[in-house]
Amino acid sequence: MTDMNPVAALAEMSNRYGSDPSFVLAGGGNTSYKDEKVLYVKGSGTALATIKPEEFVKMDREKLSLILKKEYPASESEREAAVLSDMMAARLPGETRRPSVETMLHDLFPYRFVLHLHPAVVNGVTCSKDGEKVASELFPDAVWVGNSKPGYCLAALCDEVLGGFEKKRGFYPKTVFLQNHGVFFAADSVEELDELAAACIAAIKSRIKEYPDMSDAPADTGKAARVAPVVRAVWGEGAPATVRFCRAAAVVGYDPSNGCLSPDHIVYCKAKQLVLRDGDDIAAAFAAFRAANGYKPKIVLYEGLGAFCCGGTFREAVIAEEVFRDAVSVCVYARSFGGASFMPDDLVAFIVGWEVENYRSKVSLSAAAAGRLDRKVVVVTGAAQGFGKGIAEEAAKEGAYTVIADMNYEGAVALASTLPSSTGVRVNVTDEESVKKMIEYTVLEYGGVDVLVSNAGVARAGGLDEMTRETFDFVTAVNYTGYFLCAKYASAVMKIQRAADPSYTADIIEINSKSGLAGSNRNFAYAGSKFGGIGLTQSFALELAPFGIKVNAVCPGNYLDGPLWSDPERGLFVQYLNAGKVPGAKNVADVRKYYESKVPLGRGCFPADVAKAIMYIVEQTYETGQAIPVTGGQEMLN
Closest by CA position to 599, among listed 576, 630, 624, 633 = 633
Reduced to 3 states, what is the DSSP secondary structure of residue 221? helix
C-alpha–C-alpha distance, residues 404 and 391, integer Å: 10
Indicate if 526 belongs to the active site.
Answer: yes
Reduced to 3 states, what is the DSSP secondary structure of residue 112? coil
How many other β-carbons are positioned within 10 Å of the β-carbon of residue 246? 24
Closest by CA position to 552, among listed 615, 476, 607 = 615
* Single-letter amino acid code for the residue at 277: R
Name the catalytic one among 504, 526, 559, 595.
Answer: 526
In this structure, what are the phi and psi dihedrals at residue 509, rounded to the nearest 5 degrees? -130, 120
Write out the H or E segment, with its range, that includes residue 275. strand 274-276
Is the distance from CB of 122 to CB of 204 less than 8 angstroms?
yes
* Single-letter amino acid code for the residue at 178: L
Extract the runs of DSSP E, i.e. beta strands, from 18-142: 30-34, 38-41, 57-60, 113-117
C-alpha–C-alpha distance, residues 342 and 198, integer Å: 26
* Long-range contacts of 497-501, Cβ-Cβ distance < 8 Å, separation of 24 or more: 497/229, 497/230, 497/232, 497/233, 497/448, 498/547, 498/548, 498/549, 499/230, 500/229, 500/230, 500/233, 500/234, 500/282, 500/283, 501/233, 501/234, 501/236, 501/238
Catalytic residues: 526
